[in-house]
Amino acid sequence: MSAFFIVTTSIKDPEKFQEYAGKASQTFTSFGGKLVTKGKAESVLAGTSDHQNSAVVAFPDMDALTGWYNSADYQALIPLRTEAADMTLVAYSVPA
C-alpha cells in the first residue's frame, strides 16, 4: 500500500528554508520517496488555513515513509526546519 505526506508551511526565513528544502529532498531518494507537487495557497475555499505553501511527497509504503522521517539524515535537519519555517506534516496511506 503506497503512502504519502502532505506538508503545509509558513516560511519564517526564506534563505534557511531554501537550504532545508534542498537538503530534505535529498533524503527522500534512499527510501523511494519523490516530490509529487508543491504550491502556494491562493485562497481558502472552506475552513481555515494557517500556512501559505504545501507539498505532497509519495513513498512506496508507510514503512518507507516512517523510515525516512525517523532516519538520522532527516532527523539532523529538524533544527534547521524549525528555524526556517512552521510546518505541519501529515502522513497518509493509500487504500488498496
Instruction: Report pLDDT digits (tens) over 35-76.
Output: 999 999 999 999 998 889 999 999 999 999 999 999 999 999
Which runs of E-coded beta strand occur in the chain? 3-11, 34-40, 53-59, 85-93
Give the integer Cα–Cα distance in Å for 59 and 6.
Answer: 12
Nearest to 16 by CA among 87, 71, 90, 91: 87
pLDDT beyond 80 at 96: no
Length of the chain: 96
Give me the pLDDT at residue 1, please.
82
Max distance between CA atoms of the chain, in angstroms, equals 40
Band of the pLDDT at 95, cuts 50, 70, 90?
confident
